[in-house]
Amino acid sequence: MKKVKVVRCLRRMAADEVASNVVRAQYAEGAINGKPVPAYRAEQNINPKSMTDTFVALRLNIDNWRWWDVPIYMRVGKRLPKSATEISVHFKKAPMVLFNKETNDANVLVIRIQPDEGISLRMQAKMRERVSGSNR
């Protein structure tokens, strides 16, 4: 029942918001394990003029008190480099970075659901510079 509540809280996109929040595509020809593979439209039993999407990425918002102002990113597709289910939480950067260079990297918590279950946490930390001739 909780899943239904979340789905009902998904913010609807206006027609002019779709282009900036959704990416749709079809896979092209390439190679898997060194063997050539055809593009989607060249696959057997597929119409060469097919407009069927084989990849979709979207940014969603859930309008409730818990998830307000937290973008949710979802990607799904056929013939991706790896098959995985994971939740990636990208924390907001601190408004001011003291004693360190500005970086584009943020702290990230990744919860891998399948195929290799696990948790990883990447944190940005201040690097202490060694001064030549100093034992500090």
Give the pLDDT confidence of 81-136 residue by residue, as tens digits.
778 888 888 887 766 666 555 556 678 888 899 888 999 998 876 666 666 665 55
**Which positions ≥6 away from 76 have C-beta within 8 Å?**
55, 56, 57
- Do 124 and 103 form a contact (C-beta atoms < 8 A)? yes
The residues with which 56 forms a beta bridge, in sequence order, are 24, 76
Better-scored residue on pLDDT, 47 or 33: 47
